């Protein structure tokens, strides 16, 4: 690590008042651009390898012009390495007590900064090559839909972990030793669950990807029989590539999934080749979806996804970052729900949420579609419905692909009633709740029109009352008690202190108040100049 002037950094990496400029690790350009180097090696080396396998002389591949070929390869390599070195030299970052700033670019300069008091989470990302060099990327998440996160790539893993702990401690208001700000302690955590690798493999095999493969195989067989020609290979080959990519994407991101609760929020760790340590911050979860594909019902498995302020649906690994639980049992689901909704607002939460996951009809207090909808939705009309507790609105839907969506009342930003021509004819309507952008789409489907209008008014009143009652809560602001949640969606109060000062939040992840902050609140600033 070095300063902008090229000398040694002034002490260990940590937020400082002097605003010392640093550079990332010198190997960072190689970690980012190894694919280009591999492409050059393949382009210039494939003919030589072929000649070696045929037993010919290596220079025969270039028509006897091996010197010119080697010179061209060396020139391209030098230009590429020179570009990487220039990029590394002109990339600097600064961490003060208030901001993190990153400048980059050779011809087109870019300056990005984020206020530390607006940073919602700091993820530690390690691609495969970075793990080989013991490097890590720090990704600062701010409240602007995940489009402008500040990234420091790459730092030594130990430095990245210390810097992350120091920034989180500063955001928490923990008083650190001014002489050793880099010695900020890591917040303690309580392990919640771990997903076995066998379950991940089984979930991938029983996913919708397998259903798609079976449908394509059936279509290929029918096409072959109809045309009396071996057309199955032409149909199956592209499908096999897509299916293989789907299996790998799910397995590589869900493998080694672990969840824990800490004063920082819900800590998630996952990944096979590329590992990620992610923190879902308190007060930023806007909606939770619990879904169950048809084949997962054989094993009683579920998937949980969330809308989190600042994450959005675009960007790198967006699907993985919005996954709260890739595959889990009902007990796992109840544990994770206890983290995001520590107060379920009902005296019998297990019965209510079980009815939302697998029930039909009025079990658990759910209001469903009217009986006249059996002609339009013969399988789902008894399942489509909603139930309201004192703290959240539960919406369930689907007969084959089951889904339960939970939205805390204070997270309801706006609502809309939808009624098409056929719905008006049948006297039903849909109610859609608007939250932050994300994979969860909260909707109450096909309920009686009069009931939909009542729910519209009642939910608006509940949301307004919840926002008035909920006190604003800064990220990491510590209530007096701490402890892990139980499986009954209730917070268990146990004393627990954050190392270095402060205490962990009550309910091991209690999330209340704190509307999402936008760019106008000082999230991320992005400036570019030519």
**Alpha-carbon span 193 to 331, nearest angstrom:** 10
Strands (DSSP E) found in 228-322: 258-262, 265-270, 275-280, 285-292, 302-308
- pLDDT of amino acid 6: 42
- pLDDT of amino acid 475: 41
Burial of 295 (0-12, 13-18, 19+ CB in 10 A): middle
- pLDDT of amino acid 376: 87
- pLDDT of amino acid 518: 37
- 287 neighbors 121 (Cβ within 8 angstroms): no
- pLDDT of amino acid 505: 34
- pLDDT of amino acid 463: 93
Domain boundaries, the chain: 283-479
Please name the helix (run of DSSP H) or strand (run of DSSP E) that holds residue 368, with its range, or none. strand 367-368
- pLDDT of amino acid 501: 36
- pLDDT of amino acid 491: 36
**Alpha-carbon span 292 to 201, nearest angstrom:** 16
Q: Which residues of the chain have pLDDT under 70?
A: 1-18, 35-37, 40-70, 120, 143-149, 170-185, 228-235, 282, 310, 312-316, 470-530
What is the full DSSP assignment across 152-205? EEEEEHHHHHHHHHHHHHHHHT----TT-GGGPPPPP-EEEEE--HHHHHHHHH
For the segment 158-179, what is each residue's pLDDT rounded down to a tens digit? 888 888 887 777 665 566 666 6
Model's pTM, two decimal places? 0.76
Hunting for tokens 């608007």 — which residue is that? 434
Burial of 249 (0-12, 13-18, 19+ CB in 10 A): middle
CA 505, 507, 513, 514 torsion-angle sign: positive
**Alpha-carbon span 321 to 249, nearest angstrom:** 13
Q: Residue 261: which of 193, 169, 178, 191 has the closest Cα?
A: 191
If one counts every other C-beta atom within 10 angstroms of the C-beta of residue 485, the result is: 24
- pLDDT of amino acid 517: 37
């Amino acid at each position: 690590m070095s300063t902008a002037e090229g000398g040694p950094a002034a002490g260990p990496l940590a937020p400082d008042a002097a605003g010392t400029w640093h550079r990332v690790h010198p190997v960072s350009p190689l970690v980012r651009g190894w694919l280009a180097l591999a492409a050059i090696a393949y382009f210039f080396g494939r003919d030589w390898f072929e000649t070696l396998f045929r037993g010919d002389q290596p220079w025969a591949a270039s028509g006897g012009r091996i010197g010119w070929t080697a010179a061209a390869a060396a020139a391209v390599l030098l230009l590429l390495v020179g570009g990487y070195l220039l990029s590394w030299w002109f990339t600097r970052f600064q961490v003060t007590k208030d901001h993190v700033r990153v400048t980059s670019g050779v011809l087109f300069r870019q300056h990005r900064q984020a206020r530390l008091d607006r940073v919602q989470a700091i993820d530690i990302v390690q691609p495969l090559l970075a793990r080989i060099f013991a490097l890590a990327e720090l990704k600062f998440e701010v409240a602007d839909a995940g489009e402008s996160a500040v990234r420091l790539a790459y730092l030594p893993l130990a430095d990245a972990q210390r810097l992350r702990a120091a920034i989180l401690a500063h955001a928490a208001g923990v008083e650190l030793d001014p002489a050793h700000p880099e010695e900020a302690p890591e917040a303690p955590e309580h392990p919640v669950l771990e997903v076995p690798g066998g379950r991940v493999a089984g979930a991938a095999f029983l996913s919708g990807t397998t259903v798609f493969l079976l449908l394509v195989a059936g279509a290929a067989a029918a096409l072959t029989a109809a045309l009396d020609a071996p057309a199955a290979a032409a149909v199956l080959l592209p499908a096999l590539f897509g299916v293989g990519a789907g299996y790998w994407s799910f397995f590589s991101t869900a493998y080694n999934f672990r969840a824990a609760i800490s004063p920082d929020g819900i800590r998630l760790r996952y990944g096979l080749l590329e590992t990620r340590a992610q923190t879902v911050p308190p007060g930023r979860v806007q909606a939770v979806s619990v879904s169950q594909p048809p084949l997962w019902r054989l094993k009683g498995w579920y998937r949980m996804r969330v809308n989190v302020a600042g994450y959005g649906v675009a960007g790198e690994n967006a699907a993985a970052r919005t996954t709260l639980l890739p595959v889990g049992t009902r007990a796992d689901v109840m544990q994770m729900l206890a983290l995001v909704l520590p107060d379920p607002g009902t005296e019998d939460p297990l019965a209510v949420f079980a009815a939302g996951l697998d029930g039909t009809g009025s079990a658990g207090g759910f209001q469903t579609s009217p009986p006249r909808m059996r002609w339009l939705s013969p399988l789902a009309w008894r399942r489509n419905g909603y139930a309201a507790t004192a703290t959240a609105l539960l919406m369930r839907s689907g007969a084959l692909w089951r889904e339960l969506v939970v939205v805390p009342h204070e997270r309801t930003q706006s609502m809309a009633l939808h009624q098409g021509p056929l719905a008006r004819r049948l006297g039903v309507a849909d109610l859609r709740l608007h939250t932050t952008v994300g994979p969860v789409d909260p909707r109450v489907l096909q309920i009686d029109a009069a009931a939909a209008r009542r729910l519209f008014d009642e939910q608006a009143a509940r949301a307004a009352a919840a926002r008035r009652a909920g006190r604003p809560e800064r990220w990491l602001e510590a209530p007096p008690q701490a402890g892990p949640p139980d499986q009954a969606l209730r917070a268990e109060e146990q004393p627990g202190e954050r190392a270095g000062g402060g205490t962990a939040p009550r309910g091991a992840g209690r999330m209340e108040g704190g509307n999402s902050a936008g760019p106008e609140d000082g999230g991320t600033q992005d400036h570019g100049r030519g």
